[in-house]
Amino acid sequence: MTRIPLMPKATAVWLVDNTALTFEQIAEFCHLHVLEVKGIADGDVAQGIKGMDPVSAGQLTRDEIKKAEDDSSYKLHLAEPKVEVPEVKTKRGPRYTPVSRRQDRPNAILWLTKNHPELKDAQIMRLVGTTKPTIQAIRDRTHWNSANLQAQDPVTLGLCSQIDLDAEVKKAAARVERERKAAGETAPPLGGTLAPSEETAGTPAYSADDAERVLEEEAEAFVDDGYTTDDTNAPDPDSVFSKLQNLKDDLAKDPLQQAEDDASPQEPPVTEVSDQVSADDIFKTTESAETPETDEAGDNDEDDDKS
């Protein structure tokens, strides 16, 4: 008789939170799948389940946990029970499915028939807890809700455990292998879902001559569009780079110095005056300066006479 700890998921939650055991060790001790234990560690599985201490419950000892933490290949063993509980004999029948999960059974059946067609109806019935007519109706697409069905993993829906699903798939694979050997058929190639290249490779769409002709036509179309490689209007690289150098020099100047240079008033140009000035020039300048005064005085005298 295989003994498993009480409340396996709650025990796994406690071991994940309070020990340094590996996922494989916890999964083997609690009879869970490794991915399920990883989901517990990530918080995706067993949400809201309070962890149960197996040490206080008498199912595990501190020394056993210490040994497993020191050696990752060590397997945990349940402590010997103080009270022998007789085994309860249960009748084998279809798996009980909660009422809240029963509407998900057709989706799980569709997923199993799609992804594991080797499973027999009896195996699907054990996994999901359904009936043979329902499975046959979903296979034949005669189910009353066949148009709205969506394939969903029964493990994700909570209808079965990953361990049970893997066990049924292994049984079905072994049965298919026995039937194949009995029929004398050869084993299918590993990963041989693709056809060989000799079957898929056909005549190429273009031959070498056709390819050359297509290239010549494209070159002629280029020339017809007016595109030529010898463009006389192409810019000179030297002039372009010289302009870029001038822009860099302008940007390299100090902005404060540039602003001061722009704001400073420009001095008028200084004209050089000859040191040698003649006397005639001096007299001409004086006469030109006195002439308006005499004219004004004469005008004043005329006004007085008139008055």
What string of DSSP letters covers the chain?
Answer: -----SSHHHHHHHHHHH----HHHHHHHHT--HHHHHHHHHTSSSTTPPP--TTTTTS--HHHHHHHHH-TTPPP-PPPPSSPPPPPP----PPP--GGGGGGHHHHHHHHHHH-TT--HHHHHHHH---HHHHHHHHTT-STTGGG-----HHHHTSS-HHHHHHHHHHHHHHHHHHHHHHTPPPPPTT--SPPHHHH----SS-HHHHHHHHHHHHHHHHHTT--S--TTPPPHHHHHHHHHHHHHHHHS-HHHHHHHHHSPPPPPPPPPPS---HHHHHHHHHHHHHHHHHHHHHHHHHHHH-
How many whole angstroms separate alpha carbon 204 and alpha carbon 26? 58
Q: In this structure, is residue 36 part of a structural domain?
A: yes
- Examine the domain organization and report whether 60 and 114 are in the same domain: no
The amino acid at residue 123 is Q
Tell me: pLDDT of 193 over 50. Answer: no
pLDDT band at 307 (very low <50, low <70, confident <90, very high): very low
pLDDT in tens, 5-55: 889 999 999 999 999 999 999 999 999 999 999 999 998 888 888 999 999
Among 44, 82, 59, 81, CA closest to 8:
59
Cβ pair 110, 147 in contact under 8 A: no
pLDDT (0 to 100) of residue 84? 75
pLDDT (0 to 100) of residue 200? 43
Tell me: pLDDT of 1 over 60. Answer: no
The stretch 179-202 carries a mean pLDDT of 60
pLDDT (0 to 100) of residue 93? 66
What is the model's pTM? Answer: 0.40
Tell me: pLDDT of 95 over 80. Answer: no
Tell me: pLDDT of 188 over 70. Answer: no
Residues with Cβ within 8 Å of residue 59, at least 6 apart in sequence: 5, 6, 11, 78, 79
The stretch 178-203 carries a mean pLDDT of 61
Q: Which residue has the tokens 């902005």?
A: 255
pLDDT band at 266 (very low <50, low <70, confident <90, very high): low
As a whole-number percent, the residues of the chain with pLDDT over 70 amount to 64
How many whole angstroms separate alpha carbon 211 and alpha carbon 235? 36
Q: In this structure, is residue 265 part of a structural domain?
A: no
pLDDT (0 to 100) of residue 201? 43
pLDDT band at 191 (very low <50, low <70, confident <90, very high): very low
pLDDT band at 242 (very low <50, low <70, confident <90, very high): confident
Q: Report the number of distinct structural domains present in the chain.
A: 2
Q: In this structure, is residue 89 part of a structural domain?
A: no
Domain assignment of residue 116, given as a range? 99-183
Cβ pair 172, 119 in contact under 8 A: yes
Q: In this structure, is residue 208 part of a structural domain?
A: no
Report how far apart, in Å, the C-alpha atoms of 161 and of each of 9, 126, 259 are: 12, 12, 80
Q: Which residue has the tokens 């273009």?
A: 206
- Examine the domain organization and report whether 116 and 178 are in the same domain: yes
Q: Which residue has the tokens 């080797």?
A: 118
pLDDT band at 280 (very low <50, low <70, confident <90, very high): low
How many whole angstroms separate alpha carbon 49 and alpha carbon 13? 8
- Examine the domain organization and report whether 174 and 130 are in the same domain: yes
- Examine the domain organization and report whether 103 and 60 are in the same domain: no
pLDDT (0 to 100) of residue 68? 92
Q: In this structure, is residue 43 part of a structural domain?
A: yes
The stretch 133-146 carries a mean pLDDT of 94
The stretch 244-259 carries a mean pLDDT of 67
- Examine the domain organization and report whether 177 and 105 are in the same domain: yes
Q: In this structure, is residue 109 part of a structural domain?
A: yes
Q: In this structure, is residue 284 part of a structural domain?
A: no
As a whole-number percent, the residues of the chain with pLDDT over 90 amount to 42
- Examine the domain organization and report whether 57 and 132 are in the same domain: no
Tell me: pLDDT of 305 over 90. Answer: no
- Examine the domain organization and report whether 63 and 109 are in the same domain: no
Q: In this structure, is residue 254 part of a structural domain?
A: no
Tell me: pLDDT of 294 over 50. Answer: no
Last residue within a domain, chosen from 130, 160, 183: 183
pLDDT (0 to 100) of residue 96? 80
Last residue within a domain, chosen from 151, 183, 215: 183
CB atoms under 10 Å from CB of 22, counted, come to: 16
* 72, HSE (Cβ side, Cα atoms, 13 Å): 4
The stretch 132-161 carries a mean pLDDT of 93
Which two tokens mark 10? 């709650």
Tell me: pLDDT of 82 over 50. Answer: yes
